[in-house]
Amino acid sequence: MNQIGFPLVSLAIALPALGALLVWLTPASQTRVARGFAMLSALGALATAVALVARFDASQAGYQLVDSVAWVAAWGLSYTVSVDGISLWLVVLTTLLTPVSLMASWNAGGAHPRLQQALLLLLAGAMTGVFVAQDMLLFYVFFELTLVPTALLIGIWGGDDRRRAAQTFLVYTFAGSVVMLVGIVGLYQAHGVQTGIYTFDLATVLASLQLGAVQLPLETERMLFAAFLIAFAVKLPLWPFHSWLTTAHTAAPSSGVVDIAGMVIKIGAYGLIRFNVQLFPQAAAWAAPAIGVLAVIGVLYGGWIAFGQRDMKRILAFATVSHLGLIVLGIFALNPQGLSGALLQMISSGITTGALFLIVGMLAARRDSRDVQHFGGIWGQAPFLGSIALVMVLASIGLPGLSGFIGEFTIMLGAWISPVLGWTYVSIAVIGVVLAAAYLLRMFRLVFMGPPREAGAPLRDANTLESLMLGVLLVPTLVIGLYPNALLLMMEPSVQQIAQQIGQTLASR
């Protein structure tokens, strides 16, 4: 059980945590030193993630680069982290967004900079942990660990409503994850009773379930499925559990620091694939149509509400709800197309929506408002911001050649040919995509186009730091759009394996 090669995966978790500690220990007067520590550790984590990609064997489906030590042997609890095709790119996304969020934090200024950077790094470490944990209880620990820094980031630096928003966020998502804990205990207990092996190890539990060593009665399987589903549906959030997300984004600091870090809220979607679909394929197929309906409602509802908003952050928050609906639709297509489309879309929307949140933050800092009506015709003054915003909007909408297109297209394809969903879902969800074009282009038009609405001080274009962070996000948008295979190739075996398992289960039904 104990195998430690070079602990590359653990390093990706530990580096940001170490950075957080160093930043916290730096004296308050040494701003530059603190920034240096923060950025170094974030870049170190990014380099580790790149090394992971390099060492990853794209022809294998299972867990790779495993670090495992017994934690509490008596409970079958272990510290096991590794990557597979599903988690690999999400780790890269997390480590890529961390330096950007740090730069956004420098750019925005604000009180207690050391604490803010330390929290951002802690959040990054915990999120990486979520994506690589292959032990159920360890996953839960990291899952909960992401809550505290996020709540503090919202609660200390947020807008007027920050304290209530932080509390809502914390209680809401904690409630969801507690239900997951019930699921974990239930699964642990069922596995222990039936095989005599009490373990939280995901690979072992998965193997027992697939080989039939553990047979869950239909009702039990569905209840466990529901326990995990509730946790992830709240975390995602799936309509109708979305209210905390829009509150949190609205109350989070205008600069977009937290929003971009929170873009990895994709934890919920990841959990759906890792737990719900992989562990309980039968229940997943049973519940897929119902969840598909919720997802489609989310797509339409998010788009519809976003269309009516004037606060740019609220537009983007509802856009997120809409995007996540599409992602869930892809996951519950339960075929390779749907799953890989969902994964791609998770990464793509994380980058594009994150970039848009940052741009909104920059605009808000310049004009002290996020209301679209206080802007207008600023392209002439800030052409760089405008062009990046245009690219990100188009990528979000799904223009071919940019990152959003491939994901959306494969999700639609997957859902269409899926035996459990079908063309009706797709044909309704597609309205949401049209809506996305409408509300995002509307926002872009109102802000950047037309005659300048407010005379007065001209609006500054992006400074070097801002250009740098947007540039960092622009690269993957183009790369994914032009050559998605770079990502898809590595996901392929893992996705195929999951889909194959589901196929077998469904066929044997």
Footprint of other proteins (CB under 8 A)? 71-75, 137, 140-141, 144-145, 147-148, 152, 155-156, 162-163, 166-167, 170-171, 174-175, 178-179, 181-182, 185-186, 188-189
Minimum CB distance to other proteins smaller for 72 or for 479: 72
- Cβ at position 60, least distance to other proteins in Å: 31
Minimum CB distance to other proteins smaller for 174 or for 307: 174
Minimum CB distance to other proteins smaller for 137 or for 329: 137
Minimum CB distance to other proteins smaller for 93 or for 179: 179
Contacts of 297 (CB under 8 A, 6+ apart): 239, 240, 325
389 Cα distance to chain centroid:
21
The Cα 238–Cα 452 span in angstroms is 38
- Cβ at position 174, least distance to other proteins in Å: 5
Minimum CB distance to other proteins smaller for 75 or for 409: 75
Query: What is the token pair recorded at 266?
Result: 């994709």
The Cα 324–Cα 296 span in angstroms is 10
Q: Is the bond preceding residue 237 a cis peptide, omega within 30 degrees?
A: yes
Minimum CB distance to other proteins smaller for 157 or for 405: 157
- Cβ at position 412, least distance to other proteins in Å: 37
CA distances for 32 relative to 41, 99, 353, 463, angstroms = 14, 15, 29, 19
For residues 116 and 103, the answer to whether their CB atoms sit within 8 Å is: no
**Packing angle, helices 8-25 and 85-108, rounded to 10:** 20
The Cα 266–Cα 93 span in angstroms is 10
- Cβ at position 31, least distance to other proteins in Å: 18
- Cβ at position 163, least distance to other proteins in Å: 5
56 Cα distance to chain centroid:
21
| Number of residues that make up the chain | 509
Query: What is the token pair recorded at 34?
Result: 């603190």
Minimum CB distance to other proteins smaller for 222 or for 323: 222
Minimum CB distance to other proteins smaller for 141 or for 506: 141
- Cβ at position 81, least distance to other proteins in Å: 14
Rg of the chain, C-alpha, whole Å:
22
- Cβ at position 181, least distance to other proteins in Å: 6
- Cβ at position 115, least distance to other proteins in Å: 9
For residues 260 and 159, the answer to whether their CB atoms sit within 8 Å is: no
| Amino acid of residue 325 | G
